[in-house]
Amino acid sequence: MSPTHREVTTPVVEPAALDPCGRAGHPDCGIRDVQDRLGDKWTVLVVVELANGPRRFRELQRAIDGISQRMLTLTVRRLERDGLVLRTVYPTVPAQVDYRLTERGAELTHLIKALTDWSLAHRPAIADAREAYDLAHPGHDIR
């Protein structure tokens, strides 16, 4: 680059036209509760596991490292309430229960896959940005 060259040569990616709810003068349009559900710690992991087919409760618990029985119960109940997971009880002794994604839940897997792909593609750049931030702001407690 010459000393007189002042144009930005990096391609500019225009952000998508988003209209977030909750701003002043813009009422909450009802997406916050859905986004809260999808953004919680365990939902994505449960959906990813169920994308591989129906699972019994203990299979889910073993597959999702660190989730407690209580949190798994709450997560699958919330997903069932949202119409993303179907809970089926089989009339056996003892009763057998499995969980599977509904059609709406299966649609969600494509979005999770896109987010996963984006995360993997940008992971090194994000790690570099974090390192640069940490060096520029020593002693901060942001994690």
Q: Which domains does the chain have, with CATH numbers?
A: 32-136 (1.10.10.10)
Q: Which amino acid is at 135?
A: L
Q: How long a stretch of residues is the chain?
A: 143
Q: What is the pLDDT of residue 4?
A: 60
Q: What is the pLDDT of residue 3?
A: 57
pTM (2 decimals)?
Answer: 0.74
Mean pLDDT, 10 residues at a time, over the chain (143 residues)?
58 73 65 79 94 96 96 96 95 93 95 92 96 92 85
pLDDT of the residue at 31: 75
Contacts of 99 (CB under 8 A, 6+ apart): 50, 54, 55, 56, 57, 60, 76, 80, 85, 86, 87, 88
User: What pLDDT was estimated at residue 66?
Assistant: 95
Question: How far is residue 35's CA from residue 82's CA, in Å, rounded to a whole number?
Answer: 12
Residue 101 · residue 50 · CB < 8 Å = yes
Q: Which helix (H) or strand (E) holds 85?
A: strand 85-90
What is the reported pLDDT for 5?
Answer: 55
C-beta separation of 69 from 61 below 8 A: yes
Measured CA angle at 93 (ends 45, 102), to 5 deg: 30
**pLDDT at position 107:** 94
Q: Is 41 helix (H, G, I), strand (E, B) or coil?
A: coil
